[in-house]
Amino acid sequence: MKRVLLPTDFSQNAFNAIRYAIQLLWNEECTFYLLNTYTPVLYDSVFILYNSSSLSLDEIYNENSLKGLEKIEEKIRQDYNNKKHCFEKIAEFNLLNESIREIVKDQNIDMVVMGTKGATGAEQILFGTHTVHAIKRIKCPLLAIPSGFHFKLPHNILFPTDYDVNYT
C-alpha cells in the first residue's frame, strides 16, 4: 500500500494537487495523509490571562485545522469515491516543511504531492518557497503540481540534485 502525504493550506491550488494525486493513484491502494500546519502569529497575553478556562489559541487553531481537513476529505469522497483510498488527517502546530520532513520519516511516506504557484504567484517563477524547501529537505519523491494544472500522466520526471546526497 502506498503512503502519500498531501499538504494543504485549504487553497484551490492545494486542492488541485490533491485531486491530481487521487487521479494519478486511482488504481493503487493508498493511504493519503492530509496535512495542515498552523502557526498562530501572536498569542494575545490578555486572552490567555483572562480565558484560562476556555479553549487556548492552540486548541482553536487545531480545531479549525481539523474542520478544514474534514471538509477536504468530504469533498474528495464526494468527487472521487474510491474504496482503495483511505485518509488520515494531521493538524500540527509547526512549520510546514518541518512537519513534512518529520511525517515522511515517521510514517514511511512514499511520495509527497503538493501544489505550487511560484513565488507569490509570479508567473515567471515556477516553484514557491515551500516547494523549494521541501525539494531540498525531504528524502522521498515529491510531485509539485502547478496552479491550474489538469491531470495527465507524467511522461518526464525531473531529478533535481545539488550533488550533496548520494542517490541509488
How many alpha carbons fall within 13 Å on the CB side of residue 52?
2
Expressed as residue numbers, the domain containing 28 is: 2-146
Report if residue 158 sits inside a domain.
no
pLDDT of residue 119: 46
State the residue for C-alpha cell 486548541. 59
**Residue 80: CATH number of its domain:** 3.40.50.620
From 146, 154, 159, select the one nearest 25 (Cα to Cα): 154
What digits encode the pLDDT tens for the residues 4-60? 999 999 999 999 999 999 999 999 999 999 999 998 665 545 445 555 555 677 788
Of the chain, the end-to-end C-alpha distance in Å amounts to 22
Report, in this order, helix, strand and coil percent for the chain, each rounded to 5.
Answer: 40, 20, 40
What digits encode the pLDDT tens for the residues 128-158? 566 766 767 788 888 888 888 889 888 887 7
Report if residue 129 sits inside a domain.
yes
From 31, 7, 14, 20, select the one nearest 110 (Cα to Cα): 31
pLDDT of residue 31: 98
Q: Extract the C-alpha cell encoding 33.
A: 495523509
What digits encode the pLDDT tens for the residues 54-111? 567 778 889 999 999 999 999 999 999 999 999 999 999 998 999 999 999 999 999 9
User: What does the radius of gyration of the chain's CA atoms come to, in whole angstroms?
Assistant: 17
Report if residue 157 sits inside a domain.
no
